[in-house]
C-alpha cells in the first residue's frame, strides 16, 4: 500500500453565504474523505508534512477556515468566533452530502472537532486531535483587548482607513512566523504555512505581507470550564478518538484529565500518545512519529474498501506502541 502525494490534489472552493471556503482534496475523490482542520492563524499548509505519510486509499480534504489562508473573509462589521468556525463543519458536510464526518484537527481545529462531536455525536465516526482537547480558559484581559481591537477595525472600515499590513522580506518571514508561534514552528518549517497567506506589497516591491483577516487575531473563543468539558465528553461516548500530545506543549494540561478519562472509559477505540520533545506543532516537526500513531488508527477505523482489503494488509495492532497511555481515576499511567 502506497502513500498520498502532496501534488495529487483538487483545489476546491466550497460556497458559503459570505463567499467561499478554500481547500485541497488529496487522494481518493470517489469516497468520503477525512476532513482536516488547521489551528488558529494557520492554514491547510499545516498538514503538508503529514499528508505524504498517509495511506493512498484515503481521501483527505484540508480546508482553510474563514479568514485564514485563501478562504473568504467575513463581511465588514462581523467578528470571528468559535461558533462560526464550528458551523464550518456542517456547511462542508452539506455541500458534499455527507451524513457522517471523520475529523483530524490541530489546535483550534481539534477544539472545533471536540465541540462539534459533542453537539452532533451521531454524525461523527472518528476524531484525531493534535495537541488539544479543551481550549485554554478565557483571559479577561484578552477579552477586553479583543473588544477594543474589534471596535478599532469597525471604525477603520467605516472610514475606509485601511492601510497595508506590515510587510517583510523573504528572509524575515520565516522568523516572524516562528516568533508568532512562540517557536512552536521553526523558521525552516514556516514555508508550509506561508505559501497560502502571503501577498506582494504594493508599497515595498521586495516585501510581502500576511493576507489573513486581521480580525482573526482577536477572535472570540468559547470558555469551556472543567465541568462543561466533562459533560461534553459524556456525549461522545465510545467514539474512535486519538489524541497526540507534544511533551513540551502546554495545551493538554491537567484540567483536561477528567474529560479525557470520560472519553477513555470502557472505550477500546480511545488512544493517547505523547511525542517526546514535541511542540504544539508536533505534526510538522515530528510528522513521521505522528503518522506512526495516526496511520494504524485510520486503517482500523476507516479501512480500505473491500475490493482492496487483504488480510496481509491489516496492521498488527497487538503491539504496545511507544509512549501509549491509559487513563484511570483521572491519572495518566504509562503502559
Catalytic residue set: 107
Please compute Rg for the chain using Cα positions: 20
d(CA 22, CA 309): 32
d(CA 268, CA 158): 55
Q: Are 215 and 246 in contact (CB under 8 A)?
A: no
Neighbouring C-beta atoms of residue 24, cutoff 10 Å? 24
Please choose, from the candidates 143, 100, 154, 98, the residue with its C-alpha nearest in 3D space to the C-alpha of residue 122: 100
Cell of residue 106, nine digits: 490541530
d(CA 208, CA 84): 29
How far lies 184's CA from each of 27, 177, 189, 248, in Å? 28, 10, 10, 9
Amino acid at each position: 500500500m502506497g502513500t498520498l502525494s502532496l501534488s495529487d490534489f483538487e483545489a476546491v472552493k466550497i460556497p458559503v453565504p459570505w463567499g467561499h471556503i478554500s481547500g485541497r482534496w488529496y487522494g481518493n475523490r470517489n469516497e468520503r474523505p477525512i476532513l482536516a482542520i488547521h489551528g488558529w492563524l494557520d492554514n491547510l499548509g499545516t498538514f503538508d508534512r503529514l499528508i505524504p505519510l498517509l495511506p493512498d486509499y484515503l481521501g483527505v480534504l484540508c480546508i482553510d477556515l474563514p479568514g485564514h489562508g485563501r478562504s473568504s473573509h467575513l463581511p465588514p462589521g462581523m467578528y470571528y468566533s468559535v461558533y462560526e468556525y464550528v458551523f464550518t463543519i456542517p456547511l462542508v458536510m452539506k455541500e458534499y452530502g455527507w451524513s457522517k464526518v471523520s475529523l483530524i484537527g490541530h489546535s483550534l481545529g481539534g477544539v472545533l472537532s471536540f465541540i462539534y462531536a459533542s453537539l452532533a455525536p451521531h454524525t461523527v465516526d472518528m476524531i484525531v486531535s493534535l495537541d488539544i482537547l479543551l481550549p485554554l480558559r478565557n483571559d479577561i484581559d484578552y477579552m477586553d483587548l479583543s473588544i477594543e481591537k474589534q471596535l478599532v477595525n469597525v471604525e477603520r472600515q467605516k472610514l475606509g482607513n485601511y492601510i497595508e499590513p506590515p510587510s517583510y522580506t523573504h528572509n524575515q518571514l520565516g522568523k516572524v512566523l516562528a516568533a508568532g508561534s512562540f517557536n512552536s514552528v521553526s523558521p525552516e518549517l514556516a514555508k508550509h504555512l506561508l505559501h497560502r497567506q502571503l501577498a506582494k506589497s504594493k508599497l515595498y516591491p521586495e516585501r510581502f505581507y500576511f493576507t489573513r483577516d486581521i480580525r482573526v487575531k482577536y477572535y472570540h473563543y468559547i470558555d469551556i470550564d472543567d465541568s462543561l468539558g466533562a459533560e461534553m465528553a459524556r456525549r461522545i461516548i465510545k467514539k474512535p478518538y486519538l489524541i497526540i500530545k507534544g511533551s513540551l506543549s502546554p495545551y493538554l494540561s491537567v484540567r483536561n484529565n477528567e474529560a479525557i478519562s470520560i472519553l477513555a472509559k470502557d472505550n477500546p477505540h480511545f488512544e493517547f500518545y505523547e511525542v517526546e520533545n514535541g511542540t504544539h506543532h508536533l505534526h510538522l516537526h515530528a510528522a513521521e512519529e505522528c503518522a506512526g500513531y495516526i496511520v494504524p488508527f485510520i486503517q482500523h477505523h476507516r479501512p480500505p474498501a473491500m475490493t482492496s482489503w487483504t488480510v496481509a494488509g491489516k496492521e498488527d495492532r497487538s503491539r504496545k506502541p511507544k509512549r501509549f497511555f491509559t487513563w484511570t481515576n483521572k491519572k495518566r499511567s504509562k503502559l
